[in-house]
Amino acid sequence: MSDEASFHSADLIDRLLLIVTLNSTLIHFLLSIQVEEVVDPDRVDSLTQGLLRTRKWMEEATTMKGVPPSTQNILSLIVKRLAQIESLLPKLSSKAKEAEITPAREILSLLDSGHETSRAEQLKPTQPQGTETELVPPAVQVPMKPLEAYKKVDVEDDMFGLIGQTQRLIQQYSQREHVLLPTFWLEVLREIHKYKSDSPYLGDVIELPSRILAKIIKGLLTEAPGARLLQELMKNREQESYVSSSEVERIERAVAKYFAGVEGVLKEDKVDAKEKILEAQTAFDGFGWGGPELEKRLIKRLNQECEEALHNAESATDEPRRVIYAEVTKMLCKLQHAILAEARLQEMFTQMKP
């Protein structure tokens, strides 16, 4: 075994610090589940990827030259425990994805009244034969159709021109910069514009997150450190100007959850903005940074956008905007977990790190 694979005390310290960080992340995850009473499958998948990388890193330490037997035994036990947790998380993710049913995907079915007999009709006394009764025409009851707060359509409506503007920007820079990450965020922008509503608040519900997304994409392509990192990535990685089916699925679920969160605003119902902001704060506290092997500067920029959206939720003067910004914060944090959960995107962040 080479000297580079020899064990040093600094290696042990780094690994222990990573385990402590992972433990705190898992504890926050478990507590947030109890508080929110909901499991985010993208966050679960992100944790799974983090556990996988950490376990492999710990396994490497057990085979290093010069590891004391007692230390090796402890490291092996940690690896075993990580593997046990890792095996459970995919099952939790599958259940969470099944539970994450949104109004945009629900299919409402009405029972055919002609095939159903009510309990009251069954208990109604029968008239003796030969007895005449006065016939009263039954009142026609028309079932009340619930007010549809929003619906999803197949083709997006670029009502503010942001989709076309952003597409042209990506196309312009695609010759010299890697555009996978900007394309991912463009798909989010397009997905948001696929929702329709007659609500007077639809404009804000679509425009506020869309302008943040357009800003994120422009920053990646034209500002430091994004532009330089994407230029360097282009030298080492084939251009990828598409999103995969699994990435699209995560985007669709994140945007659907956003619209479910602003449903009360679209219906002009009274919504508890303070509760929404608390939920957004919890999501922000659980923001996914990924492991030490990932380039953090772009992740930090997204974290700043989340923080700014949360600040806007806290400082806005009208309740609908407070709710919208809170839900935008939650959506951005969820999408960051989605990015960390996708192997292709994770690999990209690893390649960008010097």
Domain count for the chain: 2
Q: Are 60 and 11 in contact (CB under 8 A)?
A: no
268-320 pLDDT, tens per residue? 999 999 999 999 999 999 999 998 889 999 999 999 999 999 999 999 999 99
Residues 204 and 346 occupy one common structural domain:
yes
Is 326 within a domain? yes
Choice between 175 and 128, residue whose per-residue pLDDT is larger: 175
Burial (Cβ within 10 Å: 0-12, 13-18, ≥19) of residue 208: buried
| Residue where the block lists tokens 């995560």 | 250
Is 146 within a domain? no
Own/partner pairs for 151-156, CB < 8 Å, 24+ apart? 151/104, 151/195, 151/196, 151/197, 152/104, 152/194, 152/195, 152/196, 152/256, 153/194, 153/195, 153/196, 154/194, 155/194, 156/190, 156/191, 156/193, 156/194
Residues 160 and 301 occupy one common structural domain:
yes
Residues 185 and 87 occupy one common structural domain:
no
Choice between 100 and 206, residue whose per-residue pLDDT is larger: 206
Least confident span in 34-48, 95-109, 280-294: 95-109
Please report, rounded to a whole number, the percentage of residues in the chain having pLDDT higher than 70.
84
Residues 82 and 198 occupy one common structural domain:
no
Residues 196 and 331 occupy one common structural domain:
yes
Is 9 within a domain? yes
Residues 85 and 155 occupy one common structural domain:
no
Residues 165 and 282 occupy one common structural domain:
yes
Residues 70 and 193 occupy one common structural domain:
no
Is 284 within a domain? yes
Q: Quote the domain boundaries for residue 56.
A: 3-99
Q: Which of 99, 130, 164 is the last residue of a domain?
A: 99
**What are the start-end ranges of the H helices in the chain?**
9-36, 41-62, 69-99, 119-123, 162-173, 180-192, 202-222, 226-236, 245-261, 263-266, 273-285, 297-315, 319-341, 343-352
Is 115 within a domain? no
Residues 64 and 183 occupy one common structural domain:
no
- pTM of the predicted protein model: 0.77
**Could you tell me which residues come within 8 angstroms of residue 88 by beta carbon, excluding any fewer than 6 positions away?**
none
Is 246 within a domain? yes
Residues 257 and 344 occupy one common structural domain:
yes
Residues 90 and 156 occupy one common structural domain:
no
Residues 93 and 160 occupy one common structural domain:
no
Is 220 within a domain? yes
Least confident span in 38-47, 182-191, 202-211, 312-321: 38-47
Is 104 within a domain? no
